[in-house]
Amino acid sequence: MNLLLSAPKGHELSEYVYSLPFNLYGKAKKVDGTLSVTHSEIIVYIDGEEIDRFGFSDYEEYACEQLVGCSMMVGKIDDRDKKCICAFTQDSFIAFAELCKIINHCLTTGHLVEESDIDEPKCPKCGLPLDGYTECPYCASKVKTFAKLFGRLKPYKGVFAIAIGCTILGELLNVLSPQINKVLIDDYVIPHNMSHWLGFGLLCAAMFGIIILNTLINWVNMKCSYYVSLNLGQDLRQDVFDKTLELSMSSISKKTAGDLINRVSNDANKLQSFLTDNGKNAIVRIFSLIIVAVMLFVMNWKLALLAIVPIPLVVLIIKRAYNVIHMYYGRSWRFSNNHSKLLHDALDGIRVVKTCGTEEAEIEKYRVASENWAKAASKAEIVWNLIWPFSDFLMTVGNYFVLYFGSLMILSKIPAFGEMTLGELTLFTSYIGMLYNPLRWLMQLPRQLADVSISASKVFEILEENTDVRDDADCVDLDIKGNIKFNGVYFGYKVYNPVLKDITCDFEQGKMYGIVGHSGVGKSTMINLILRLYDVTQGSVTIDGVDIRKISQQSLRSQVGVVLQETYLFEGTVLENITYAKPNATFEEVIQAAKIAHCHEFITKLPDGYNTRVGNKGYTLSGGERQRVAIARAILHNPKIIILDEATASLDTETERQIQEGLNELCKGRTTIAIAHRLSTLSHADKLIVLDKGRMAETGTHEELMKKKGVYYELVMAQRKTTKMREVTGNPNYVH
Amino acid sequence: MEQKTEKNVLEDERFEIDRLEILDCSKLRFYKDEGNFISLEYNGETYFNVRLTRLVPFYSKTTYISVAYDNKDNEFKEIGVIKDMAELSEDQFKMLDEYLEYKYYMPEITKIYSIKDNSRGFIFVDIETTSGRKTICIRDWYSNFRMLTEKMLYALDVDGNKYFCPDVEKLDKKSIATLEIFV
């Protein structure tokens, strides 16, 4: 990222290492300010005049604080003693955050990095934020994208070629029909020449033959097209899904679940239908456009010109009209969407509506939404019905010219144009009709192409994304014993905002560790690093002395068992859910694991025992039951390292006690790392690691830390106070 | 007996935390520290770097202002709520108003020249604001360019900057016509 953007008035850029413009100061008024950084100082200029000057070491840390409408760069000695250095609108946030990171790095290492390595997450071409994409989906080369898209037809090229062949044949037959019509009119109908019954019969048979042949060709065409379409869609969906599961958590978390689902289903479907429908049509329609145009010009170029000349102008007018229609329909769609949301809300929350007695207010809200939708839809329809007949008339205006001049030619009234028979005119107008259809389609094509190219770039972005957490070529399958070490680890989900700072600690084999601290302090982040869901920014995490980046991810994760706060049960039976991580387990092993986890008893009481369906549409298990299934799953998995991330947080103390026995069994002899908000659950840990503001504040046993009266002591005291207060209010979940 | 007293104390403490505390403006003394952050002296206590929040930022700029601070455990503690800043002395009002204008920096839209939809989920809105003319790019504009009430327009651009128009009906006719199709 370029952090040397503008020099203050009267100064040169070369005087500074970094220099960024800012636009707010003092009373939230717009200013023309510059924040310039030399090798040891920060200088603030407004309108070229120096306002403030700080040495790097004047503050212990520099940070960007995001307010509601703007952000500011702050120098901090501690949370109380801080100073606002300058303020700016949100568009400058990332640049200033990166500058703070560089100055902070200089404060700890004494070395000022002179080039920022962070990439500007904006498209260099259109300037829009990339928002998790590696390449701007709007500026990606359309030709390249479509080439890749058509490349996916390769496995089905034979069948696709048959489909195209059939469509071309069909189009040729369509061209042939008007020719037969012309002969029928000119040779049989106009001269009343019914003496050659044979010729007439043959022509009628030919017409009938064309219909039969066309049906046959269409049938083959449809079959081939469906074959290609369905297979291609399946390939695309499968590839996108496979790749999605391969991606690192940081790549996945940049996209929402909805976005990913959209890419797997909607975007892939859109490409599927485009390739087999429009892709084929594109070839055929352009082909038929050329054939028909050539035939028209061969028949009578002057008349053909009359039909074609108005088209470019008409296309321009119609395109504008379509944009207007599109806007009105978009508006109507938005109102319909609002209406559905309101309906959904009111019906989903019907109990709340009834208990609050707000039926009338809801009815009124619904009436307004429904009325707005009706009005918007009616306006869109009016606009459509005004524009469409007019634009269609404009589109086919050439036809009227042809009819007028053609009729004159039949009557031999314009010798300059030559002569024409009635059959020829019928043939000519039929061909002009055939010319307008591909033209209408072509007019819609740009919008469709734009739409599809975005879907295609989204799909290919996933397919071609290089996952940032990947196995090295020389990674090993390690038989883990369970000694974990953090060596000076720095990590942030966003590089400019470190969550963990300089963490160095050991987790010895077979012992139990607790990580404690305020929420958001980085406890779960440490766990994510051990699981290698993310890679550290600086430092390393080792297991048995091997950097986890050198251990294959499959080998690492297959030896780590995790029990989370909320257990997700997949759609399927209890048995399938327990054996999820070890599908080849014997049924005896499953029951053994279930018994240790104290879930065998309740599973036996379920209507279909271990075959009871659970998940979204299945039997609803309570929170405690789900946790026990998760513990059984972890026991069966037989991991070397156990991670308990708030495993009992959502349970009441009675259920927690029952589950604790299962957990104790699970943790026996294995390295266990637990996070729990309720500190009492961790008091028996061999060692506690206390995090504070992203750094390691203290370590020791519960007793040691209580004696020390540091951060842990304060946390315990604060929690005791809250617990006592809850006792007073009588919340049974918190009776200790 | 002793236990009962302890219970009462705890109950009182709980009530104290949960009760809405409307601050007596005559007892408030806000001042700016060296770092330009606002601190408060109230009822004999000093609170450094207080957190001032407009509780209903879209409806009122100077009423219902929450005054809070982070304690040493970084926990949010609310001192109370200023019902109406008008009850503050003139200089105190000015200091708070300046800070809040800063925190909630949000240019007001005064004219809409054009709105272009790129048919890819983005719109480009050419506007005149209290901070000058600007073309803002809005992503996912169904959510980020909308009416908050029947009159108030709210816009959030791709960079995270916010804009608003308190009453669209007061815009000129051309602006309203341009806007109508999109909201």
Same domain for B115 and B68: no
Residue B1: predicted pLDDT: 40
pLDDT in tens, A206-224: 989 999 999 999 899 889 8
DSSP 8-state code for residue A11: -
Partner A, chain B 121-140, Cβ-Cβ below 8 Å: 122, 131-132, 137, 139
User: Closest approach of chain A CAs to the CA of B172, in angstroms?
Assistant: 21
* A568 token code pair: 């997700």
Pick from B65, B82, B103: which residue ends a domain?
B103
Instruction: With respect to residue A628, please indicate whether it lies within any of the assigned structural domains.
Output: no
- Averaged pLDDT, A321-336: 81
Same domain for A406 and A513: no
Same domain for B25 and B91: yes
Q: What is the ipTM of this complex?
A: 0.82
Q: Which domain holds residue B21?
A: 2-103
Scanning every residue of chain A, which has its alpha carbon at the shortest distance from the alpha carbon of B138? Answer: A128
Same domain for B137 and B77: no
Question: Which DSSP helix (H) or strand (E) runs through A515?
Answer: strand A512-516
Residue B71: predicted pLDDT: 77
pLDDT band for position A132 (50/70/90)? low
pLDDT, greater one: B29 or A306: B29
Same domain for B53 and B10: yes
H-only helix segments in chain B: 2-18, 90-103, 141-144, 173-180
pLDDT, greater one: B73 or A524: A524
Given a cut of 90, whether residue A34 has pLDDT beyond it is yes
Instruction: With respect to residue A654, please indicate whether it lies within any of the assigned structural domains.
Output: no
B142 Cβ under 8 Å from any chain A Cβ: yes
pLDDT in tens, A185-197: 888 877 766 667 7
Given a cut of 70, whether residue A618 has pLDDT beyond it is no
pLDDT band for position B14 (50/70/90)? very low
Same domain for B99 and B14: yes
Given a cut of 80, whether residue A261 has pLDDT beyond it is no
Given a cut of 50, whether residue A732 has pLDDT beyond it is no
Give A-chain residues touching B74 at CB under 8 angstroms: 79, 518
What is the model's pTM?
A: 0.61
**Stretch among A317-326, A614-623, B19-28, B30-39 having the lowest mean pLDDT:** A614-623
CB pairs under 8 A between A and B: 100
Same domain for A286 and A248: yes
Same domain for B10 and B97: yes
Given a cut of 70, whether residue A721 has pLDDT beyond it is no
Given a cut of 70, whether residue A477 has pLDDT beyond it is yes
Given a cut of 50, whether residue A632 has pLDDT beyond it is yes
User: Closest approach of chain A CAs to the CA of B27, in angstroms?
Assistant: 23
User: Sheet containing B132-139: which strands, arranged edge to edge?
Assistant: B109-117, B122-129, B132-139
Same domain for B92 and B33: yes
CATH number at residue A219: 1.20.1560.10
User: Mean pLDDT across chain A, nearest whole number?
Assistant: 82
pLDDT in tens, A280-317: 677 777 777 888 888 888 888 888 888 877 778 777 88
- Averaged pLDDT, B80-93: 94
Contacts of B146 (CB under 8 A, 6+ apart): B153, B154, B183
Same domain for A532 and A405: no
- Total of domains in chain A: 3
Residue A160: predicted pLDDT: 87
Candidates B54, B102, B159, B163, partner chain A, best to mutate (most A CBs within 10 A)? B102
Burial degree of A68 (CB within 10 A; 0-12, 13-18, 19+): middle
Candidates B105, B141, B181, partner chain A, best to mutate (most A CBs within 10 A)? B105
Pick from B86, B103, B120: which residue ends a domain?
B103
H-only helix segments in A247-349: 249-253, 257-262, 268-273, 279-308, 311-348
DSSP sequence for A423-446: HHHHHHHHHHHHHHHHHHHHHHHH
pLDDT, greater one: B18 or B22: B22
Give A-chain residues touching B49 at CB under 8 angstroms: 79-80, 82
Q: How far, in Å, are A62, A578, A678, B75, B129 from residue A664 at the CA level?
A: 44, 18, 17, 33, 63
Instruction: With respect to residue A621, please indicate whether it lies within any of the assigned structural domains.
Output: no
pLDDT band for position A128 (50/70/90)? low
Given a cut of 50, whether residue A736 has pLDDT beyond it is no
Q: Are B160 and A90 in contact (CB under 8 A)?
A: yes
Given a cut of 70, whether residue A471 has pLDDT beyond it is yes
**Stretch among A310-324, A476-490, B101-115 having the lowest mean pLDDT:** A310-324
Q: Which domain holds residue A528?
A: 479-559+684-730
- Averaged pLDDT, A225-236: 85
CB contact under 8 Å between A83 and B7, yes or no, is: no
Same domain for B170 and B81: no
Residue A105: predicted pLDDT: 81
Given a cut of 70, whether residue A121 has pLDDT beyond it is no
Instruction: With respect to residue A620, please indicate whether it lies within any of the assigned structural domains.
Output: no
pLDDT, greater one: A313 or A47: A47
pLDDT band for position A258 (50/70/90)? low
Given a cut of 60, whether residue A278 has pLDDT beyond it is yes
- Total of domains in chain B: 2
Same domain for A234 and A159: yes
- Averaged pLDDT, A37-51: 91
DSSP sequence for A196-236: -HHHHHHHHHHHHHHHHHHHHHHHHHHHHHHHHHHHHHHHH
User: Mean pLDDT across chain B, nearest whole number?
Assistant: 84
Give B-chain residues touching A714 at CB under 8 angstroms: 73
Residue A370: predicted pLDDT: 95
H-only helix segments in A110-156: 142-151
Dist CA A92 CA A86 (whole Å): 12
Given a cut of 90, whether residue A645 has pLDDT beyond it is no
Same domain for A64 and A150: no
Same domain for B148 and B166: yes
pLDDT in tens, A514-552: 998 887 788 888 988 998 888 888 889 999 989 988 888
CB contact under 8 Å between B103 and A69, yes or no, is: yes
- Averaged pLDDT, A81-100: 87
Same domain for A555 and A409: no
Q: Are A380 and A331 in contact (CB under 8 A)?
A: yes
Given a cut of 90, whether residue B172 has pLDDT beyond it is yes
DSSP sequence for A125-138: TT--B-TT-SS-TT
Dist CA B64 CA B67 (whole Å): 10
Torsion, Cα A587 A591 A594 A600, to 10 degrees, reads 130
Q: Are A155 and A36 in contact (CB under 8 A)?
A: no
Best-predicted range by mean pLDDT among A82-86, A106-110, A680-684? A82-86
Pick from B103, B123, B144: which residue ends a domain?
B103
Scanning every residue of chain A, which has its alpha carbon at the shortest distance from the alpha carbon of B57? Answer: A68
